Copies of this chain bind each other. A is one copy, B any other.
Amino acid sequence: MEAFNYTDTTEFMERDFSNSKETGTEIKIENVSMVFPDKNGGEPVTALQNVNLEIKQGEFISLLGPSGCGKTTLLRLIADLLQPTSGNITVRGETPRDVRLKKKYGIVFQNPVLYDWRTIRRNVCMPMELMGMKKSERTARVTKMLELVGLLDFGKHYPYELSGGMQQRVGIARALAIKPEILLMDEPFSALDEFTREKLQIDLLRIWNKTNKTVIFVTHNISEAVFLSDRVVVLSPHPGRVSAVVDIDLPRPRDMECRQTPEFFDYMTKIRNSFEGV
């Protein structure tokens, strides 16, 4: 994978561990429903119905579920980008809004959502500007982040000059750059080849390990979900409900070998079955 430099890019990701020891409830989702009215007079779409979920501080959670079942919607609700039709979400005992305003979230969107008028470097830079970071620090961090996702050579290009997978990686770099405490990732690796994906999975785990972030990770790849997560939440569609929650008790740190173990396959089968039961 000549596109990547496997230098250790995690040391600058360290964050303030002041409250990392408490592993209480980080995110509490109670009876949340989300209905989208159809503006053209059709039937409203119930994206989520009575979803209940508790996510612990520092936990790595994956959301799985068929296309259109409400994963993105749930993420958007947690991030206060949408307000639930009914039910309640608290994050660290506060409303998602308060947490958002404290800039605790980092989001990788399902589409890369890059700003056309900014070069790749400046796209990655953007959240740091919002944080009021110093220019020199920004520059250093952007460089490290682009190195991490293998796009250092493309820093001065504009988004339209990048391939789909490259754009997605820019989105990942951007979200990680600000060291968010709560990381919401919506199918971040879907447009990546298996090798880039595996590399980024390992990198992500390393960062997570070091910094004790809470990660909510949407994916369609069951193996990826098992490999990364403490817990896998399976949603069922129309309307979206939690159909299964699977604890993954594989030892950490995990490496590629653990993917070959029978336990790993057991988990995959278990999840696949919970899927099919839908």
Contact residues of A with B, CB < 8 Å?
1-3, 36, 38, 40, 42, 45, 64-68, 71-73, 110-111, 119, 156-158, 161-166, 168-169, 187, 190-197, 220-222, 237-238, 272, 275-276, 278
Q: Is the CB of A72 within 8 A of B164?
A: yes
Residues in B whose Cβ lies below 8 Å from that of A156? 38, 40, 42
- Chain B residues in 8 Å Cβ range of A197: 220
Give min CB distance, A124 to chain B, whole Å. Answer: 16
Give which listed residue, B193, B195, B220, contacts A193 with CB less than 8 A.
B220
**A68 touching B165 by the CB < 8 A rule?**
yes
In the complex, what distance in Å separates the CA atom of A115 from the CA atom of B158? 24
Tell me the dominant secondary structure on chain A's binding face.
Answer: loop
Contact A67 B220 (CB under 8 A): no
A66 with B110: in contact, given A42-B157, A191-B187, A194-B222 (CB under 8 Å)?
Answer: no
- Docked CA distance A10–B139 (Å): 55
Are A66 and B275 in touch, CB under 8 angstroms? Answer: no
Establish whether residues B66 and A1, one from each chain, have CB atoms under 8 Å apart when the complex forms.
yes
Count of chain copies: 2
Please give the distance in Å from A45's CB to the nearest CB on chain B.
Answer: 7
Residues of B within 8 A of A272 (CB): 194
Instruction: Give the CA-CA distance A166 to B47 in the complex, in Å.
Output: 13
The answer on a CB contact under 8 Å between B67 and A165 is: yes
Contact, CB under 8 Å: A64 / B221: no
- Cβ A161 vs Cβ B66 within 8 A: no
Asked if B191 contacts A164 (CB within 8 A), the reply is no
Q: Please, which residue of chain B has its CB at the minimum distance from the CB of A272?
A: B194
Within 8 Å by CB of A196, from B67, B73, B157, B221, lies B67
Chain B residues with CB under 8 A of A157: 38, 40, 42, 45
Measured between alpha carbons, how far is A68 from B154 in the docked complex, in Å?
11
